[in-house]
Every structure is written in C-alpha cells, then in structure tokens.
Amino acid sequence: MEEWIGGIWDRWITQTARRDHPAAAVHLKDIEKTLGVIFRALGGDAGLRVAAAADATHGGRRRLLERIAGVHERAAHAALDAETLCLPPKIAVFPAPAFNRDLYVWLAAMAGSAGPALLGAYASEWIVRNQFAAWATLQRYPGLAPRYRRLVEALLAERIAPEKMPADEAAQERAVRMALVDPGSVAELPPLTRAKAKSLQPVPLWLYPAPPAETRARRDPPANESEGADAPKEQQVENKRYQVERTEMPENESPMILLFRAESLLSWAEYLKVNRALDEDENPDAGRAAESLDKLTLADSDQRVASKVRFDLDLPAAAEDDAVLGPGIPLPEWDWKRQVMKPDFCRLQTMVARESEPQPLPERLRRHARKLKNQFAALAPVRRWQKAQPDGTELDIDACVRIAADRLAGWHFAGAGAYLNHRPTERDLACLVLADLSLSTDAYANDEQKVIDVIRDSLMLFGEALSSTGDKFAFYGFSSLKRNFVRFHEIKPFERPLDAVARGRIAALKPGYYTRIGAAVRRSVQLLEKQPANRRLLLILSDGKPHDIDLYEGRYGIEDTRMALIEAREAGIKPFCVTIDREGAGYLPHLFGPAGYTIVRKPEDLPDRLPLLYAQLTGNA
C-alpha cells in the first residue's frame, strides 16, 4: 500500500511541477540536417559539426514544487567551440512545437552569423557576448526579428518573476530580461551578495560557454555497431559532448573488512569506467549512468583491460598480413590548429595481398557484368564523322550550302571547312578508385553481406565496366594505424590489366584498421599525376569520416582531408566521394563541395550505383 501511494504521489508531484511541455517537444535528430544547412548558409564554419549537448546542473533558482519533485535541476545548454555546435537533444520549453522549432533555428542562426564573437565567452563576458551576437544577427538578418521577439515574449512568461526572488538574484534576472528584450543594453551582470545565492535560471536563447578543450570528451557509439532501426536500444545513443577531468586511480588494496571506512566508497559522480571496463568489473550500465553526470572523471590504472585484449586479437600476425612493398613513402599532413603543413609527418606503406589466388569473375556476378559491359560499350572510342573540316574524304553538303549563302550575303570566313572526315574519337581519361578498408567495413550491410563484401562486388563489376570503355584505371585500398603506418593496398595499378590476378586481390580484401584519408589521397594524387591524361578522376569509396587513434579525429582529420582534396584540385584532379555514411551530409559538403559527393542509402546498391555514377561523371570525356 505504501509503495502504491508513493507511486501515485511521485507521478502527481512530478507532473504538477513540470515546467516543460513534452507533448510539444522537438528533437534535434529530426531537424539536425536542416539546422546544419541554416548554420552554414548564415556564415557558420563549414568544418563544424552539429551534435547533442549533454545535461548539466545549472544551479539556478527553481520553484517550490520543482524542488520537492526533484525536477528541472539539470539542463542541456547550447554551446559553440572550435569543433562543434552543441544543441540540446530536445527542446520542450514552449507549449507550441513551432516555437520550440524556432528556438533551434534561432540558436543555429546566431551561432552561424556571430559565432566567432561567442568563442571563449566566460564569466562576466558571457552576457555581453550573447547580446552582441543577438544584435549582430538581427542587424544582418532583420527577417529574424519577429521570430526573436515572439521567442523572448514566450520565454519571459515561463521564467520565475524577479519579484519572487531575493534582491541580488532579482537584480540579475532583471538584467537578463533587459538583455533579451534590448540586446546590447546591459554592460554586466550585477554581483550576487549572498553566500547561498542561486545562479541564473537557464537562458535557452543564448549560447553558453564551452568547457576548455582539455576537459571535453565525446561519447560516440563504436564504429562497428549497427545503425539500423533494429539495433538494440543500448546501441542507439546520441553523440553528446561531456566534460571530463583526469585524476589518479585511488589505492584501496586492503582486503580486511575491519579497515573499511564508509568515506572510502567511490560514488558514480567521482569515478566512472567508460568503454574501458576491467576484465573482472564489466558494467553494462555505465553508459546509462553517465547520462546523469555533469563531469566524467577518468583515471589510469595498471590493471589489465578487456578492450585491449579484444583489440590485440584484431591485429593480424606479420606472417598473415599483406606483403610490404618498399620502405614506405613519407607524406605531409595539415595541422589546422597551427595552420601549417607538417612535412614527412606520415609514412605510407604500399602493400599487396600475400596469399591472393588468381580467379575468374564469380559466377553470380557474370550476368550483371555482361549487362554493364553492353551499357558502357557506348562510351568506348569509335570512328565518327566530323563535319565542316578543312580537309577530308567527302564534301560536307551542309557546310557547302552555308559557305555559299554567306558569300552571297557578303560574308567570307577564311577558316570555314567544307569536308567530312571519318576519324576515331578518344577518351583521354584516367580514373583511380580509392576504397576505404577500415574496421568499420566489417559491419553488416544487410542480413547476408558485410560492407567489405559489397566493396568487393563493386570493384569486380566496376572493373568489368571500365574494361569495355578503354579508359585507364587503377584500384587501391587504404586503412591506417597511426601516422607511421598508413596502409595503401595495391589492387590493380594503371599499368596492369584487370585480369585473374587483380580479381584475386579484390577477393582477398579484408577490413584493416582506421581511416587516415588525407595521406591516402595525397598518394593517389601522386599516382594520377603520372598519367598522361587530360582528365583525371579520383573516386573515393568510404563508409565514414576521417579517424585514427593518434588525435586524427574530429576537426583535425576533416581539415587535413580537405587540404589534401584542395591539393588534388590544384593538380587538375577531380575528386568525388561515394559514401554509405548516413551522417555524411554533415561534413562531406565541407570536404568535396555540394556536387562532389553522393550518399548511397542502401550499401547493397553500391555495385549498381558505382558504374552509373562513373558514366555520369565522365560521359562527356
């Protein structure tokens, strides 16, 4: 009976105390792409990604019922730093969904138009910087003014009135209200004079200071987890940014219960083993527990770690790995933070499959290959009649009539041709296909095939299609394990035909390690520059964004890849990306431009889509 009554009381007090409106909530994942477009269209840094912010204790004053119910103690604040625009995972501040959606739009617009003014906003500067950002946004885009005024009016109606607060807190609240209504009118926040004074109530229309770079951590799902709708709930986590700190692992080696002290217990708020569980202490609930923390505390331990054992099992022995060709090639890498190119920073190692056996085209692909060959035969060089030539084997009647009419009209063109000539046409084109062979390709694309299987079939069919055009082409694959071991797999070089040996190497492809795209692109550019062709195409097949375990992640990896692609364009090479990454729209436009990539929603469609994309890209060659 007590539990039943307690449950009723808990539900009633929680529902009564709620200030938000769950029925009108708008979720970030539903409009993330739209917000990304708005952010970049209004001047936002194209290299930034949009991610969900983690909840944190705000410390602001709450109503009596909220304190009794224990609700609204935490909030997800919008924030901006040099790598990420963090927005609340959902907004339910207002009773109307349209207002909550407008709030998302306003935050993206303010971050895009006045973002640099908000970077590094701390302490007393915070309110001033947000006012300036709001004022600058409204001046630059006056069409947002009515939407902003509606949001301010609705927000002020939801906040605790200053009359219900102590004097110092009321003074701060009035300053915030004035700053919202008239951006630029408040020079600083009045100070709090009481020892137990509360902080400001959350201000959803403003961007909060981002934590220092050394204390930020990102919680991403593992690369090999399924992203489909049927994935377990614990795998469907949002990309959130958490604040972390490092500390020393506490020593508590005494097994004697008599030496136990209650104060030596470690609470969740102090230590959390995330993604590095010890062999004897795996905790499947660590992820859910992390959701309730303001700050994750990480400590180094000398105990064996289960994830390290699993990682080592994925490393092939040297005798089973691909054969190494040559001593390795030093390549530069772009450091976007310092804005310098670091020479000879990476070492690329060309490799070839050690135990690949020559084989014919698999039987299951032969019918499809014949169809593609017939389609691509139209792109092969053929002899065509060329009109209005200065010399040739036959007269061009149309050209003769046109020349005679021009002369009668008083016009004469010395270079006008009057002959037909039967000449062969040529496709002066070279294409290099660069396939991502990182560990993420070991994930299943459907119930029957892994991503690596789809890549093998795509290369098999694509090679058959290209063989019928007469174009020069090459196939390479890549993965990486830190900067000194960028693996560059030679599958079919330009000088060799697509024969049984090349097919055997395709069949022998297997997932590698990580995705250091920049070095692989630079090596591909070197190979394409050696080809005497007027048009050169670099076709990249990838299933994820740049990533490696030695800081080559996030903005660093994206900017290095972007610089490598800029270098390719300057060398006269056209890069194009084909990806199955569903989040690719968030970063690929920054890398390849709006027309330099395509996203294949179903990986199993890649073998069909790839040859057709090539035909579209080179049809006029």
- pLDDT at 122 > cutoff 60: no
Mean residue pLDDT of the chain comes to 80
Burial class of residue 47 (count of CB atoms within 10 Å of its CB; 0-12, 13-18, 19+): middle
Section 393-409 average pLDDT: 85
HEC assignment per residue over 370-423: HHHHHHHHHHCCCEEEEEEECCCCEECHHHHHHHHHHHHCCCCCCCCCCEEEEE
pLDDT for res 403:
86
Secondary structure letter of residue 603 according to DSSP: G
| Cβ density class 391-403: b for 16+ within 10 Å, e for less | ebeeebeebeeeb
- CA of residue 182 relative to chain centroid, distance: 37
For residues 43-48, average pLDDT: 83
Q: Which residues contact 617 (CB under 8 A, 6 or more apart)?
A: 537, 539, 574, 576
pLDDT of residue 270 exceeding 60, the answer is no
Measured CA to CA in angstroms, residue 52 lies from 22, 95, 96, 284 at distances of: 18, 22, 22, 22
Tell me the CA end-to-end span of the chain in Å, nearest whole number.
81
Comparing CA positions, the residue from 282, 122, 295 lying closest to residue 208 is 122
The pLDDT of residue 348 is above 90: yes
Cβ atoms of residues 103 and 205 within 8 Å: yes
Q: How many CA atoms lie within 13 A of 146 on its CB side?
A: 1
Tens-digit pLDDT profile for residues 101-112: 999 999 999 998
Quote the pLDDT of residue 275. 47
Q: Does pLDDT of 382 surpass 60?
A: no
CA distance 583 to 311: 26
Task: Please write the tens of the pLDDT for every residue from 138-168.
Answer: 999 999 999 999 999 999 998 999 998 999 9
Residue-level pLDDT at 255: 47
What's the rounded mean pLDDT across residues 478-501? 93
Q: What is the pLDDT averaged over residues 21-43? A: 89
Q: Report pLDDT for 292.
A: 54
- The model's confidence at residue 347, banded by pLDDT at 50, 70 and 90, is very high
Q: Enumerate residues 6+ apart whose C-beta is below 8 A from 532.
A: none
pLDDT for 360 equals 92
CA distance 362 to 458: 12
Pairing of strands 90-91, 49-53: unpaired
Query: Residue 417: its pLDDT value, please?
Result: 81
Average pLDDT over residues 317-334: 82
If you average pLDDT over each of 288-292, 303-307, 567-571, which comes out highest? 567-571
pLDDT single digits (tens) 187-209: 888 888 888 888 888 999 999 87
Per-residue pLDDT, 431: 93
What type of residue sits at position 426? E
Q: Helix and strand tally (H, E) in the chain? A: 17, 21
pLDDT at 121: 44
pLDDT at 471 over 60: yes
Residue 621's pLDDT is 47
Question: What per-residue confidence (pLDDT) applies to 278?
Answer: 44
pLDDT digit string, tens, across residues 545-601: 899 988 898 889 999 999 999 999 999 999 999 998 877 877 888 899 888 999 998
pLDDT at residue 455 is higher than 90: yes
Q: Distances from the Cα of 350 to the Cαs of 311, 414, 476, 516, in angstroms? A: 23, 56, 10, 14
Judged against a pLDDT cut of 80, whether residue 77 lies above it is answered with yes
Residue 341: per-residue pLDDT: 95
Residue 289 pLDDT level (bands cut at 50, 70, 90): low
Percent of the residues in the chain that have a pLDDT greater than 70, as a whole number? 78
Superfamily for domain range 323-376+427-618 = von Willebrand factor, type A domain (3.40.50.410)
CA distance 133 to 139: 10
pLDDT at position 5 is 82
pLDDT band of 119, cuts 50, 70, 90: low
Res. 453: pLDDT tops 60: yes
Q: Range(s) for CATH 3.40.50.410 in the chain? A: 323-376+427-618
Categorize the per-residue pLDDT at 235 as very low, low, confident or very high, splitting at 50, 70 and 90.
Answer: very low
| 100 has a pLDDT exceeding 70 | yes
Q: Which residues touch 469 (CB under 8 Å, ≥6 apart)?
A: 376, 377, 379, 380, 427
Calpha distance 99→156 (Å, rounded): 13
Residue 261 pLDDT class (50, 70, 90 cuts): very low
158 Cβ contact partners less than 8 Å away, ≥ 6 residues apart = 19, 93, 94
Handedness of CA 85, 179, 21, 7 (dihedral sign): positive
Question: 282-296, 472-486, 601-615: lowest mean pLDDT where?
Answer: 282-296
Ordered DSSP codes for 300-327: E--S-BHHHHHHHHTSPPTTTSPEEEEE
pLDDT, tens digit, for every residue of 416-448?
788 877 665 566 789 999 999 998 888 888 888
Segment of 81-85, 220-224, 286-290, 313-317 carrying the highest mean pLDDT: 81-85
Residue 95: pLDDT band with limits 50, 70, 90? very high
pLDDT in tens, 222-234: 434 333 334 433 3
Q: What is the mean pLDDT of residues 335-341?
A: 91
Mean pLDDT, residues 170-174: 92
Contact 223, 249 (CB under 8 A): no
Of 296, 239, 289, the closest CA to residue 52 belongs to 239
DSSP 3-state assignment of 136?
A: helix
